[in-house]
Amino acid sequence: MMSRCTIHSLAGLMITGLIASASAASTADWKPRSIYQTMTDRFARTDGSTTAPCNTTEGLYCGGTWRGTIDKLDYIQGMGFDAVMISPIIENIHGRVEYGEAYHGYWPLNLNNLNSHFGTHQDLVDLSAALHSRGMYFMMDTVINNMAYITNGSNPATHIDYSALTPFNNADYYHPYCNITDWNDMKDAQECQTGDDVVPLPDLFTEHEDVQQLLIKWAKNAIKTYSIDGLRIDAAKHVNPGFLKNFAEGLDNIFMTGEVLEGAVSIMSDYQSNYIASLPNYPIYFQILQAFTNGSTVVLAKAVEEMRMQLPDVNAMASFSENHDKARIASYTQDMAASKNVLVFTMLFDGIPMIYQGQEQHLAGNSVPKNREAIWLTKYDTDAELYKLIAKLNRIRSHAALLGEDYFEDSTHTIYQGESELAFTKGVQGRQVVMVLSSQPSTSSAYTIDLTVSYNAGTRVTDVLACKNYTVDNLGTLRVPMAKGEPRVFFPTNFLDGSGLCGHSSGNISLAQLKTHSGFTSAGVQLMSTTGLATFLLAVATSFITLL
């Protein structure tokens, strides 16, 4: 068996051309990655069944396992993902309440045991090894804010038997019981409990040294035992932020993305500046919804500008448009055009895409628990339209990054804003990705928009979604035919070899090789300095915003 160090070095070379270190993966290691989020109980079963019933409303265990996940890695890798995040692994409270069981993994009982519904120690070791042998990273969703206990309606203040919880087995490890009354008051949110009177979630006293050390010791051991490359921190908003920082430091600064469910860019900025390298990008998520399920594109363009100007590192954020806590996109509108635009933006905007299982199958669960559909019931359809779209988006993103690591240092700029269109550019001039999005329905008719800010005059570009070629005219205008709410994604045609898109070869090709092979005109390679371009685009973008 290969050592973890060897596997990682290989993976690093294959995927990013970087030499990965033997220690846990860092933020830089994660930036080029793209994550598929599974909920183990609902992703795949050991028996491979595609018919086993799963009534999401009942909220019971449906039989998904780590072994089942191993058997479905082709399905995940077929979309181009090179990292998987699984739901929490530890033993949860047993028993059933009016809204179900702990199938999701967010009700911790004993940190020292695994959740036996999902499999054994060996199964989890094998899952980790299977991922690494494919050059994929392994991320674990992690609960450090609270434990759980069933009081089933009795007052949590007096009915929790703390001795049943491991290792935090007495009340001293917890904040004194209180209900959160104001979720926007950080102190209240951090010191009171997030549960209810049926399943209270005793809130760990994470300001305390003993609690911090026990959690760090536990996580260190899990990371080592299962060769984990990164963590999602559940309910990070409800943990005192000082501990988030200590937690990362205690774990050799392994990459972690912390869930702070807030819409304000300033809050993200505060966390990223002071406490944690990455957060799921909730401010952008809320504006994605506004833009593509509610026709309000203005706010998304604005949020993009705010992000770039206020955040220390937008490219370290985790980009998502669905997750296990939020209504799925198709629950707002069944229109495929909306789902496509949402996915294009989610995956090509700055940050590490994190796509929740089932988004590729256009599932429509409208809230918890209906958004936790069993994926096996879709029969893992690899012909699904969004499955194929995601594969293309992962390809163009990886290709742009392969041609220059600077792709993840550059942040997205707004270059066009129409009544129902938005266009963004990301990457160095000459090999940037330009996406043109629409909030129109798939029933809408054809028209044309002129992008006056895109590539240099004369550049030949390909829309990699439709595989159509275009040439930017002498004045530098790219005329884009729009129809049926379809998104467009452009890349210079001469730089597409190696991408595997639109008939171009796939493989390991460098920018230098592309430049020598493809005798294109000098217009295509004139590189504006990044700073020059940024200033220019900023001026353009600012003028858009002032107009609104």
Ligand X SMILES: *[C@@H]1O[C@H](CO)[C@@H](O)[C@H](O)[C@H]1NC(C)=O
The question of whether 259 is a catalytic residue gets the answer yes
What 8-state DSSP symbol labels residue 204?
Answer: B
Phi, psi dihedrals of residue 256, rounded to the nearest 5°? -140, 140
Question: d(Cα 387, Cα 76) in Å, to the nearest integer?
Answer: 10
Smallest gap from Cβ 192 to ligand X, in A, equals 9
Per CB under 6 A, the segment of 182-190, 213-221, 436-444, 466-474 that binds ligand X is 466-474
**Contact with ligand X (CB under 6 A) among 120, 122, 155, 506:** 155
Q: Which is nearer to ligand X, 6 or 55 (CB)?
A: 55
* Span from 1-9, 445-453, 465-473, 535-543 in contact with ligand X (CB under 6 A): 465-473
Q: Which of residues 45-104 bind ligand X (CB under 6 A)?
A: 55, 57-58, 95-97
The backbone torsions φ and ψ at residue 438, rounded to the nearest 5 degrees and listed phi first, read -135, 145
**Residue closer to ligand X, measured from CB, 7 or 248:** 7
Q: In the numeric block, which tokens belong to residue 350?
A: 């700055």
Indicate the burial class of 441 (C-beta count within 10 angstroms; 0-12, 13-18, 19 or more): middle
Residue 13 binding ligand X, by CB under 6 A: yes
Q: Are 234 and 280 a contacting pair, CB within 8 Å? A: no
CB of 534 to ligand X, least distance (A): 29
Q: How far is CA 208 from CA 173, 188, 212, 329, 518, in A?
A: 8, 17, 6, 40, 62
Tell the smallest beta-carbon distance from residue 82 to ligand X (Å).
13
* Closest CB to ligand X among residues 113, 152: 152
By CB under 6 A, the residues from 119 to 148 that bind ligand X are: none
**DSSP calls for 363-428:** ----STTTT---GGGGTT-TT-HHHHHHHHHHHHHHHHHHT-GGGGTS--EEEEE-SSEEEEEESS
Select which of 259, 262, 305, 306 is catalytic. Answer: 259
Among 274, 506, 510, 529, which residue interacts with ligand X (rule: CB under 6 A)? 510
325 appears as a binding residue in the annotation: yes
Name the one range near ligand X by CB under 6 A: 123-131, 133-141, 426-434, 462-470.
Answer: 462-470
Strand-pair category, 468-471 with 460-463: antiparallel
Residues 96, 102, 108: CA angle, nearest 5 degrees: 120
Nearer to ligand X among residue 539 and residue 548 (C-beta): 548
- Shortest reach from residue 294's CB to ligand X, in Å: 4
| CA separation for the pair 276, 465 (Å, rounded) | 35
Q: Is 234 a catalytic residue?
A: yes
**294 vs 378 by CB, closer to ligand X:** 294
Q: Name the residue number minimizing CB distance to ligand X.
A: 95
| CA–CA distance, 19 with 9 (Å, rounded to integer) | 6
Binding ligand X by CB under 6 A: which of 9, 26, 49, 179? 179
Q: How far is residue 541 from each of residues 25, 298, 475, 476, 491, measured CA to CA in Å? A: 35, 12, 19, 17, 21
- Longest Cα separation, the chain: 77
Beta strands in 445-527 (DSSP E): 447-451, 460-463, 468-471, 478-482, 488-492
Picking from 440, 347, 353, 425, the residue whose alpha carbon sits closest to that of residue 85 is 353
Q: Which of 234, 306, 410, 463 is catalytic?
A: 234
Confirm or deny that 372 is annotated as ligand binding: yes
**Total chain residues near ligand X (CB under 6 A):** 25
* Closer Cβ to ligand X, 387 or 407, answer by number: 407
Binding-site residues sit at: 107, 232, 263, 325, 372
Binding-site residues for substrate sit at: 107, 232, 263, 325, 372
Give the binding site for ligand X (CB under 6 A).
13-14, 17, 55, 57-58, 95-97, 150, 152, 155, 179, 196-197, 290, 294, 296, 462, 467-469, 493, 508, 510
Active-site residue numbers? 234, 259
